[in-house]
Amino acid sequence: MTVPHLKLHARHYPEEKGEVYDNMPKKLYVLSAAVFAFPVSMLITGALVLFFKVPNQWWIYYLGALIAGLLEAVSLSMPVRRDVQVSEHPH
């Protein structure tokens, strides 16, 4: 599954599936943001080192990896339905 496919699928999520899985497009948008965060951080870091001769800026790469991981965790923790019941047992 490629990144453009994730974003395209989120934007054009099938209506019949959207009725059942109403939170799925939001999950896909968050996941695609996670997939973009990591390579963007790599490109920024590489550009700083190669074109602007700014050494030792690899912390940006690690920050991008952290953001990507957090966004992926958020996407995975989101239910596919907004009205999902978390527990059968009353508190």
Q: What is the pLDDT of residues 14-31, one digit of tens each?
A: 776 766 778 898 999 999
Contact (CB, 8 A) for 38 and 64:
yes
More confident residue, 81 or 43: 43
More confident residue, 8 or 59: 59
Task: Say which DSSP state 91 is in.
Answer: -
- On whether residue 9 sits in a domain, the answer given is no
Contact (CB, 8 A) for 24 and 6:
no
- On whether residue 84 sits in a domain, the answer given is no
Identify the domain containing residue 32 by its residue range.
22-77
More confident residue, 43 or 2: 43
17: Cα separation from own chain's centroid = 21
Report the pLDDT value the prediction gives residue 20, as an integer from 0 to 100: 73
- On whether residue 89 sits in a domain, the answer given is no
Share of the chain above pLDDT 90, in %: 53
- Specify the number of domains making up the chain: 1
- On whether residue 11 sits in a domain, the answer given is no
- On whether residue 32 sits in a domain, the answer given is yes
